[in-house]
Structure 1
């Protein structure tokens, strides 16, 4: 069964995205960099046999024209709540089959990582792409079994996010990890972007 990749994106508006990064380098530049990262992520997500869906914020952006994102991609609003509540809702409302959720701030993400995650989900209940800071850039479920406590009590934006999330899964879940990647949250992370960081 064909899987689904859901990309969590925000409208690249200065002062509303990458605010920690913006505090260091300026909110306009941070928004421009986020737009570049989002474009890269979308391009990689279109190189596979899965379906790609954008979960967008703010909710009204789901109904805008292709001002920020390719019009060919279906869009759904992220909705209300913390990150865990929004991701849980995305899993619940996704088409049948395995589902992977990613953000748009891991410059090293490639289509091969998404293939590796779907391959892992053939046997595992859940898969994660760890981030170097203790969080994660990918989470996926095969959805053959329920995970009713998923994301409850996770300490988001901390070094504990991955460990906390794994602990919300049923204890007998087979959990796999794929490659660790860096994500971009602060100015010190800009080196992982490469030349694009200097272009904005």
Structure 2
């Protein structure tokens, strides 16, 4: 069986989407983050892959109260690179393939996850680049340390990671680019992709 991990902090004011919060208010940004997460869970739950929510240990109890139907994974390590590498190392013994995404891409569909898993049949690694210079998805079938030394959340992580992958002679594939929501301007890019009944569309209306 395959698994999809959504990495997320608990959606409380000042804890998530702080760049958006500077423009829209921290409370609204937290509510928006919660809507993103709600839409992603609705889209990816009860599919032919297992959905897990990966979160810091301090947020797990609150998340378990909010999403009683989900399975959880507590992230380990001191930075995002550690979180992802340890997740692959901890969980791949139990799954054939694993994809990790963030909670900033509420329009991501099941078909994209299936595409990533399919590409892993002939590749060691799959990346989904986002329009801000990072990546919205990384998928593996064996743990690979491609994250050490990467500067995340500065718009250069995709470039740095692909450079490292090439240096390691790792066979990889790229998914189509998607918009990862980090700043107010990103919201306008996804409005026409939103289901009108989605939690994200409702909060933006």
Same fold (TM over 0.5): yes
1:100 matched to which residue of 2? 99
Unaligned runs of 5+ in 2: 192-200
Contact 1:6 1:100 survives alignment (8 Å):
yes
Give the Cα–Cα distance (whole angstroms) in 1 for the partners of residues 64 and 82 of structure 2. 27
1:20-169 maps to which residues of 2 (within 5 A)? 20-46=19-45, 48-57=47-56, 59-64=57-62, 66-68=64-66, 70-94=67-91, 95-143=94-142, 146-147=143-144, 149-169=145-165
2:170 matched to which residue of 1? 173
Q: Does the C-alpha gap of structure 1 residues 123 and 74 become closer, same or farther in structure 2, counting only changes over 3 Å?
A: same
Contact 1:48 1:115 survives alignment (8 Å):
no
Contact 1:47 1:111 survives alignment (8 Å):
no
Give the Cα–Cα distance (whole angstroms) in 2 for the partners of residues 67 and 188 of structure 1. 32
1:198 matched to which residue of 2? 204
Task: Quote how far apart the aligned CAs of 1:104 are.
Answer: 1.0
CA RMSD of aligned residues (A): 1.7
Contact 2:77 2:86 survives alignment (8 Å):
no
Contact 1:6 1:52 survives alignment (8 Å):
yes
Larger helix share, 1 or 2? 2
Q: Deviations over 1:31-53 (max 9, x none)?
A: 00000001111122225201111
Contact 1:107 1:182 survives alignment (8 Å):
no
TM-score (normalizing by structure 2): 0.87
